[in-house]
Structure 1
């Protein structure tokens, strides 16, 4: 059953009482609407309108300007100035067409809020009592006004316009029913809309249709209440004074279940839809395929795509974009390529997301040359590469060490109107730093600053890490000082790079602790110990070992075994056994690797007897590899 809440008793009471209790507030008196008020007389014509002025022609021209996005609020108010000064009656159809155009208008530089302007103009005309010069509002007029209220987030004002409609005696139609439900859904939550839909619509003189039910279904799904939406769908399926669910009803609910992670319920509903004889459309299939791709279930997504094609439903751009992005995310570049070619063979032009996703997949597999061909063909297909496109290809070139191509692409950005950001410069700096080309990396850093961009923590950590690995510790500390001086706070990566470079200096670790930055973990310190031991720098490795204990951390068996192996490699068996003693004192029992390392050390140093004794001890303790 659907859980209904009685948040408001207004509509549940007598519609007559509701009609008299709720009056639409003037949009111009509601500061929360931010409505566009009539400006000063500077917008009023300097001369009275001509006798040949045709309100029908004037509104038709204004409506076309609305559709073109060129009508400004000043133009609209000037039109209504003329309207209120002339004697020729304005046809209601012309006025409604103009208001409907504003209600649907997209935001443009000329007019930022068409719905609010429509409400303001309506209030102005009827508030100034235009009388016979303007036809009385029709049910279509009120439907337009209620829709405007929903679009500006004033559902309460929309319901008040509905009550005004009831007082006039006009007969509500199916559009009215849908718009009232839309107002109730916008008010949140949708419980009252469900209640009105199922129990009050006939009393209010409205007959809901499938569109009305789908509005409520979508609102419930948008609120992550797909289970309640399923209850409503089942009410529709029973057919008792309800329209049967259509493909949009099922598609809405399937998308809702997928959004909530209920993949099983979504697939079950799809199969139920098929059993009921409702044929899925491209929206249904695309919704399912998109959800499966995001979940990484590409095999199932492929099955639905083939079923879609076999059923005679042609995939659209959205369908293929989901497939390409899904394969690209999993680094399945061959499958992504196949989808891309199939998409273009059907005459579908990929959008910028598809292009970028496909390029990214190619670059991750070292196929930057092919990605560059895709990049070059974008403009030919009507898509101008954006900064994401550039960063993907730059990153591909950087990973492959194609510095000439990388810099050529970077230098072309300015000519193509793309402004390089910090992320772009970091790609270049990281590319050179990884290959120890520090002079080039520093030149890029200088260029970065020259363009007014400040290096971030990633910029500095890249440079510091590379300098430490090269043994240029003074330069690394110089960059560290620059970092602090410019107000960029070091992160864990910066400190870890410096610790690794200055492996025998524990001061940096204590500085990290004092600043509340998490210390490197045991695995990090173990890797340093291992690296130093392999280089024969066992004493330095032992300093790191002591540092770990000093900061309160507990070395694990991996670190102990690594240090023991280091001493064995340099023939310091006595010190290796000293580490073993510390190990057992710490409560860590030697394992098979410990014994094997020590036995190997004895044998390499020619002390076979000691190795045999240790080997028998190993067998006695049942330490087997």
Structure 2
């Protein structure tokens, strides 16, 4: 019976193999892709462009784009490669930080013409690759080549170039690209405005941040969480906490439920200005909204309570964080140790210092300086000297601050 069933089974066709090889890429088992492709060749079935594209994705995942390119140039029939096959390899080179190789291939495509001609996605891939490698001038060169080749930039193209200028804080150039974009009939989207808002934010131009936020609204472009968080962050940096809190409260009403970043921004603002009651209320709301606190959030809470000497509360949050399965970092330990040292609780400070070392948390000059200064201030010169020697033996350089007698 089993033998009969096997004889009735239909042998795999090209469609089946294409799916199998693509699944290897999607399931993050790219090493199986070439194996299935080898079995396909043994059956005598002719591979099509879709199957080759799936194989190229697997080779790209395995960081072997040269092998994919060699196969495209020498093992595929001349009439088979299409722009999708090329674009997969372009992306592989760019993903592996080799956008210069992708540019060579892009120009080869342009020279061949016909079905090999690069499209807007091909150019966008290479432009984005250069931007990720920090080569803005190369990205602009590809952008200009694209236009010269008669390929019309789309919103993704313009967003890439605008984002590159914004990250370089070249806001005049970013605005120039925005004007070019509009003049060419390409409508800006939320990503466009988010790039500009972030760029003006890091450049310290608050009025532009607010202007663009309002412009988005008048253009009918819906704010997303990134937009709201960018404006929220900038209002907090300006000390306009009340406005930030109003924006935060309005987010949910407008369909943007505050995320962990939204909460962290406002929590940090309250912590910075010493509004511990507001900070505690906001954290309770965060828990009520079922937004899971991050390590950064716990750093804010513990650091704030430690700063104001409320170590019992700080330690409660520390224990809660541990129960959540998170591991404290150097910033958190330093905040707790510094607070204990200021309060003269040197035994507690030493307990945390030892715990920090025993758990393998990186520790440098700052935490040693804190412990040494604490022992020195409270008259335990022996302990201060021991830690100074220990620090030197570990090769940690200690540069005394002005007014430090150590």
Change (3 A) 1:345 1:183: same
Q: 1:405 to 1:128 in 2, by over 3 A?
A: same
Task: Quote the residue 1:98 is aligned against.
Answer: none
Q: Which residue of 1 aligns with 2:336?
A: 460
Which structure 2 segments of 5+ residues have no match? 358-362
Partner of 2:314: 445
Structure 1 unpaired stretches of 5+: 1-83, 86-125, 530-543, 548-625
Give, in angstroms, the shift of residue 421 of structure 1. Answer: 6.0
Distance across 2 between alignment mates of 1:358 and 1:371: 8
The Cα of 1:410 is off from its aligned counterpart by 2.7
* 1:177–1:477 distance in 2 versus 1, CA, 3 Å: closer
- TM-score norm. by structure 1 comes to 0.55
Answering whether residue 127 of structure 2 is matched by residue 254 of structure 1, we say yes
Number of aligned residues: 389
Is the deviation greater in 448-457 or in 186-195? 448-457
Of 156, 174, 178, the match for 2:49: 174
Is 1:190 the counterpart of 2:65 in the alignment?
yes
Per the alignment, residue 245 of structure 1 pairs with 118
Query: Do structure 1's residue 402 and structure 2's residue 270 form an aligned pair?
Result: no
2:205 & 2:137 partners in 1: Cα distance? 25
Pairwise CA distance, 1:366 = 0.2
521, 538, 541: which one aligns with 2:399: 521
Question: Is 1:381 aligned to 2:254, yes or no?
Answer: yes
> Is this contact kept in 2: 1:421–1:453, CA < 8 A?
no
SS of residue matched to 2:6: coil
2:373 and 2:384 in contact (8 A); partners too:
no
Structure 2: distance between partners of 1:443 and 1:287? 49
Report whether the alignment pairs 1:129 with 2:6.
Answer: yes
- Are the counterparts in 2 of residues 214 and 249 from structure 1 also a CA contact under 8 Å? yes
- Once the two structures are TM-superposed, the CA of residue 395 in structure 1 deviates from its matched residue by 1.3
Q: How much has 1:181 moved relative to structure 2?
A: 3.2
1:431-510 → structure 2 map (5 Å cutoff): 431=304, 437-438=308-309, 441-445=310-314, 447-448=316-317, 451=320, 453=322, 456-464=332-340, 467=342, 475-484=344-353, 487-489=355-357, 492-497=365-370, 502=376, 507=382, 509-510=384-385
In structure 2, how many angstroms separate the alpha carbons of the residues matched to 1:348 and 1:296?
24
Matching residue of 2:86: 213
CA RMSD of aligned residues (A): 3.4
158-167 or 249-258: bigger deviation:
158-167
Q: Is the counterpart of residue 311 in structure 1 residue 188 in structure 2?
A: no
After TM superposition, list the pairs within 5 Å mapping 1:237-386 onto structure 2.
237-239=110-112, 243-386=116-259
The Cα of 1:452 is off from its aligned counterpart by: 6.4
CA distance in 2: counterparts of 1:127 and 1:142, whole angstroms:
24
Counterpart-to-counterpart distance in 1, 2:116 and 2:234? 46
- The CA deviation at 1:239 is 2.3
Match of 2:14 in 1: 139
- 2:25 corresponds in structure 1 to 150
Residue-by-residue CA offset, 1:525-568 (whole Å, 9 max, x unaligned): xx216xxxxxxxxxxxxxx3xx5xxxxxxxxxxxxxxxxxxxxx
Give yes or no for contact 1:509–1:519 (8 Å, CA) kept in 2.
no
- Bigger Rg, structure 1 or 2: 1
Contact 1:464 1:498 in 2 (8 A): no
| SS at 2:116 equivalent | coil
Measured after TM superposition, the shift of residue 201 of structure 1 is 1.0
**Structure 1 residue 176, shift from structure 2 partner:** 3.1
Mapped partners of 2:322, 2:58: distance in 1: 47
Given that residues 130 and 139 in structure 2 are in contact (C-alpha distance below 8 angstroms), is that contact kept between their aligned partners in structure 1?
A: yes
Partners in 1 of 2:301 and 2:33 — Cα distance? 55
